[in-house]
Structure 1
Amino acid sequence: MDELTLSLAALPHLSGAALPSYVRADLRAGIVHIGVGNFHRAHMAVYLDRLMNQGLARDWAIIGTGVTDHDARMRAALEPQDWLSTVVEQTAEEAQARVTGVMVDFIAPGDRAGILAAMADPAVRIVSLTVTEGGYFIDPATGAFDAAHPAIRADAATPDQPRTAFGLILAALRRRRDAGLVPFTVLSCDNVPHNGVVTRNAVAGLARLSDPALADWVTGNVAFPNGMVDRIATVTNDRERGICRSQFGIDDAWPVFCEDYIQWVLEDHFPAGRPPLEQAGVTFVDDVTPFENMKIRILNGGHAIIAYPAGLMDIHFVHEAMQNPLIAAFLARLEREEILPVVPPVPGVDLHDYVALIEGRFANPAIGDTVRRLCLDGSNRQPKFIVPTIADRLAQGLPVQGLALESALWCRYCLGLTDSGAEIAPNDPAWDRLQAQARRAVDDPAAWLDMRDVYGATADDPAFRTAFAHARHALTEAGTEAVLRRYLDGTL
């Protein structure tokens, strides 16, 4: 197939992908989004593309921006292609491409004046963000806002020159308040428990450091709906660029590859208005908590369960991990025996069916999701995805052998060597600290649990400490594969 470089001019000549039925010139911006990564373009942008293809939401186009070097690289890649993105949705049997055109501009990170002007525009009624689980300045053990973080202290000292996403949001809200404008809704699209509450705590917490009256106004007037987001979108490499060119005839500098499954559950709290997202498949509920618990504990917890044994066994792709009978059985047993019993009921959902669904999603060979991506940032993910389940089971007097083994596998991974002796490159913002603790834990497993920002009060529970120490020593003595066998046959 002849390939064409993606752009507005090339759209009429592309034949390998579904194309927008809307015209870019007809769109008006209603959303500023901070953090234009692959997940955002595979999730929120796809829902809006669905609406616009129905002739709806033409005044809800996106202006992208960000605060990181990644955002700057993304902007440099997308600008020559007029902010268009190719989204490739993959099942095990086939792949389909669509080009989305819902982003109409991308303000450069560092262009503070431009970002604040966009957010202060009355036409903008939502400011959304995907800044990753670790980007919310929260204490992982308590969930409280970390007002002492250097980046937060810097924004509090110079509120008119913000550098963080929350500093920008707060400065824009101040402008709108002072101008008598309705505040925009702040919509977190990150995979964080009670992401709306966490975002409100960050924005109001920052305000309280320099302007308590503004903090009170934020908590009393600005909406921060909670939401549960779900879609697996992988990292873009030359493999994905090559497939996009050869299979779909599109030369896209940063295409998005993702599974065909997509879900978004939102609390319907948008005082300034919102797109009719329910017509694109979004579920609106009064309380997102049951859906959030289900997804974070079963799916994200499941990712952690397969990630670290696979990483230690030199397995590269997630679907290859699911093809390993020991890892697949470890996931199946731990999900059904230790996680499901402490996941509260979800309206209209059979949790056993949901577990089977995520097992099938993990096993999809077309996605090309990597084990290394799942292992990334455990210091932020474990306190959200694994430790709450441990705490719930301990509170009910239930055993935690499998979850303790998962924690021990993470500890072993952070030594930085696989079972074969291959080096594991740094894979966490706190890698140096994790490595130091993991080395101490070889002889003294309790040293790993000293990370109270990760484990909180669970570190003091004798049952968890004993199970963790036993699993950690077993991994040193026998290796990952043997320990998984012993766990599965009941001899660990």
Structure 2
Amino acid sequence: MGVSLTQKSLATVRHEVGVPAYDRRGLRPGILHIGLGNFHRSHMATYLDRLFEQGEAHDWAIIGSGVMPADVRMRRRLRQQDWLSTVVDLEPGAISARVVGAMIDFVPVVSAAIVEALTDPRVRIVSLTITEGGYFLDASIGRFDSHHPWIRADAADPARPRTVFGMMVKALAERRAKGQPPFTVLSCDNLPGNGDVTRRSVVGLAELIDRDLAEWIQQEVTFPNSMVDCITPSTTAHERELVSRRFGIEDAAPVVCEPFRQWVIEDRFCAGRPALEKVGVEFVDDVSAYETMKLRILNAGHASIAYVAALLGYRHVHRAMADADIRDWLLALQKREIMPALEKIEGVAYPAYLAWIVERFGNAEIGDTVSRLCANGSTRQPKFILPAIRDALGHGVSVEGLALELALWCRYCRVAGEVSRGPALSDPLSARLKVGARESVRDPQAFLKIREVFNDLAESQKLRGAFVRWLDIIDDQGVRVAIRRYVAEAERPG
């Protein structure tokens, strides 16, 4: 039995575990974070903990909040341990742990309490990790869904909001009425243009309530875009047992994650910010090129190995990455078709970033699963692969490998659940994808004709021809032959 994690017990924690050397009693709130899950604690909270260790920014501590049932459970667990969390970095051969103390409170999961906290003038940043589904996006147009029932309810009764954005609008209205400055709204969710998305949601709801208020928010509140990165799995009994056995700590909600972290933020803060650049955060004028880099190299990289790994019978990502054919396929695709279409970023070497990605994918301690990467292809491919195809076509770059990736996805959709007793196809459009994939035996273009996924890309003769060719090779000669042939073609001079 290990030490129960509390502020008082920190002195008895094993010496190899890092603990806060700063006086947590001297911390003051500066950030209200909504959606306090594992990623926030492995990422933002860890960066702030490092900054506090340097004796800096002790008036920027975190207050947690949230509106979902999971937030109630998280608050209950963290309250018992004085808002402390054990964060374990899963570095191969060198697993390490630190107790992170950047959080000092968690608001009751009640609308009135959250609004009250949002109106506290000490709160100068409101940050979010609420997942893409929490932004009320209309998938058909990629914009704020002003007709969502919850949004309409908040617009009809703004005094009693039920959504995160309704609470923010109410708090901003109160701050404006009192002559208090507004706060910066900082999304830490993994979606392109996350600050712009957040602004549209907040301003969009405000316009339904009070146009003058909406204009004031538009002019005075800042919504910087940011790019976040740290692979952080879910916590299960296995992770809790690991922390107890390996580090002697009984933590009800520990976090395990990879040792790599990246955070790039547009430097637009209307009420100040902590000096996070001192602990490795990059502040830039425009984050879009960094977002694209991550989407094309990390996310498209995951997508490009997912289906070939599944078709070859792999269950875990690190085992797939130990297969030289899969690794060579990933590298050849990136170097031949994806990286040449990327905008240059001063001080960033794409080959070095790709090398980091390959190393991260091969981290056996993470235990990432191939099935996770294969799930929801109809939403992942339009975000990660199809934009890369459009970029390549626009730059006159080959799309042979990207077409092969689509052919591998098609083959997977046709046989998912049958290959090496692997999982069934997990996708909101599974029925449509299965039909298109099966019809591709007779009509190889049937898969590309799924309009809700590919839109007008099927009209590209260059893509269509390459897709048909690769699907024929996969069906006739097998997956491994196809990726080996692509690698050989990519390495051929000229």
TM-score normalized with structure 1 length: 0.90
Q: Could you say which residue in structure 2 is the equivalent of 1:304?
A: 303
Q: Is the 8 A contact 1:35 1:65 kept in 2?
A: yes
Q: Deviations over 1:148-170 (max 9, x none)?
A: 44444444344333333333322
**CA distance, structure 2, for counterparts of residue 377 and residue 53 of structure 1:** 41
Aligned 1:40-189 pairs, distance under 5 A: 40-109=40-109, 111-139=110-138, 143-189=142-188
Q: Provide, for residues 87-109 of structure 1, a one-character-per-residue CA deviation record: whole Å limited to 9, x for no partner.
A: 11132220110001111222344
Q: For residues 453-472 of structure 1, what are the structure 2 equivalents within 5 Å?
A: 454-471=453-470
- 1:441 is aligned to 437
Measured after TM superposition, the shift of residue 117 of structure 1 is: 1.0
Compared CA separation, residues 460 and 276, structure 1 to 2 (3 A): same
In structure 1, the partner of 2:233 is: 234
* 1:469-484 pair list within 5 angstroms: 469-471=468-470, 480-484=479-483
**Aligned letter for 2:189?**
D
Q: In the alignment, is the contact (CA less than 8 A) between 2:31 and 2:127 conserved in 1?
A: yes
Which residue of structure 2 lines up, in the alignment, with residue 29 of structure 1?
Answer: 29
Report the CA distance shift for 1:20/1:415 in structure 2 as closer, same or farther (over 3 A).
farther
CA apart distance, 1:226: 1.4
Q: Any conservation in 2 of the 1:140–1:454 contact (CA below 8 Å)?
A: no
After TM superposition, the structure 1 stretch with the greater mean CA deviation from structure 2, 116-125 or 78-87, is: 78-87
User: Partner of 1:364 in structure 2?
Assistant: 363
State the distance in 1 between where 2:359 and 2:26 align. 40
Q: CA deviation at 1:476?
A: 5.7
**Equivalent-residue separation in structure 1 for 2:462 and 2:43 (angstroms):** 41
Extract unaligned runs of 5+ from structure 1.
none
Task: Provide the C-alpha distance between the structure 1 equivalents of 2:127 and 2:11, rounded to a whole number of angstroms.
Answer: 31
| Secondary structure at 1:287 match in 2 | coil
CA distance in 2, matches of 1:475, 1:206: 49
Cα distance in structure 2, aligned partners of 1:202 and 1:120? 19
- Please state how far the C-alpha of 1:234 moved relative to its aligned partner: 2.0
Answer with 69-78 or 444-453: which moved more.
Answer: 444-453
Aligned residues of 2:378 and 2:429 also touching (Cα < 8 A)? no
Aligned partners of 1:46, 1:335: CA distance in 2, in Å? 31
Q: 1:180: Cα distance to partner?
A: 2.2
Of 470-479 and 389-398, the range deviating more from structure 2: 470-479
8 Å CA contact 1:312–1:418 kept in 2: the answer is: no
Q: Which residue identity lines up with residue 438 of structure 1 in the other structure? A: K
Pick which of 469-478 and 90-99 moved more.
469-478
Per the TM alignment, residue 213 of structure 1 is displaced from its structure 2 partner at its CA by 2.8
Q: Find the residue that maps to 1:10 and give its secondary structure.
A: helix
Superposed CA offset, 1:289-344 (max 9, x none): 22222122111211222223223444232211211222212211111111101111
1:141 touches 1:452 (CA, 8 Å); kept in 2?
A: no
* Residue identity opposite 2:98 in structure 1: R
1:311 partner amino acid = A
Distance 2:264 2:104 in 1: 25
- Answer whether contact 1:77 1:254 (CA < 8 A) is retained: yes
Deviation at 1:245, TM superposition (A): 1.3
Which runs of structure 2 are paired with 1:237-276 in the superposition (5 Å)? 237-276=236-275
Question: Structure 2 vs 1, CA of residues 116 and 474 (structure 1 numbering), >3 Å: closer, same or farther?
Answer: farther
CA contact (8 A) 1:29 1:123 kept: yes
What displacement does 1:391 show?
1.0
The 3 A distance-change label for structure 1 pair 437 and 12 is: same
Q: Is 2:313–2:422's contact at 8 Å kept on the other side of the alignment?
A: no
CA–CA distance in 2 between the matches of 1:258 and 1:316?
20
Segment of structure 1 superposing worse, 75-84 or 146-155: 146-155
Bigger CA drift: 450-459 or 26-35? 450-459
Distance 1:418 1:45, change over 3 A: same
Q: Which amino acid aligns with 2:416?
A: L
Partners of 2:86 and 2:99 within 8 A in 1 = yes
Tell me how far apart the structure 1 counterparts of residues 431 and 358 of structure 2 sit (CA, whole Å). 31
Shift of the alpha carbon at 1:413?
4.4
2:270 & 2:10 partners in 1: Cα distance?
A: 36
Unaligned runs of 5+ in 2: none
Once residues 154 and 379 of structure 1 are traced to their aligned partners in structure 2, the CA distance between those partners, rounded to angstroms, is 31
Letter of the aligned partner of 2:97 in structure 1?
Answer: A
Structure 2 CA distance for partners of 1:308 and 1:72, relative to 1, 3 Å:
farther
**Structure 2: how far apart are the matches of 1:416 and 1:64?**
44
Count of matched residue positions in the alignment of Structure 1 and Structure 2: 486
Q: CA deviation at 1:443?
A: 0.2
- CA drift of 1:348 comes to 0.5
Mean Cα deviation higher: 178-187 or 396-405? 396-405
Moved more, 201-210 or 340-349: 201-210
Distance 2:457 2:41 in 1: 37
Counterparts in 2 of 1:400 and 1:97: CA distance versus 1, 3 Å: same
Computed over aligned residues only, the root mean square deviation of the Cα atoms, in angstroms, reads 2.7
Distance 2:134 2:376 in 1: 11
Pairing 1:278–2:274 present: no
- What SS does structure 1 have at the residue aligned with 2:32? strand
Identity %: 50
Counterpart contact for 1:235–1:369, Cα < 8 Å: no
In 2, Cα distance between equivalents of 1:242 and 1:490? 48
Specify which structure has the bigger relative contact order, considering alpha-carbon pairs within 8 angstroms and separated by 6 or more residues.
1
How far residue 384 of structure 1 moved from its aligned partner, in angstroms, is 2.6
- Deviation for aligned residue 1:446: 5.2
Letter in 2 for 1:28: R
Return the letter of the residue paired with 2:404.
Answer: L
Equivalent residues in 2 for 1:315-464 (5 A)? 315-414=314-413, 417-420=416-419, 422=421, 424=423, 427=426, 431-444=427-440, 448-449=447-448, 454-464=453-463
Q: Is the 8 A contact 2:413 2:437 kept in 1?
A: no
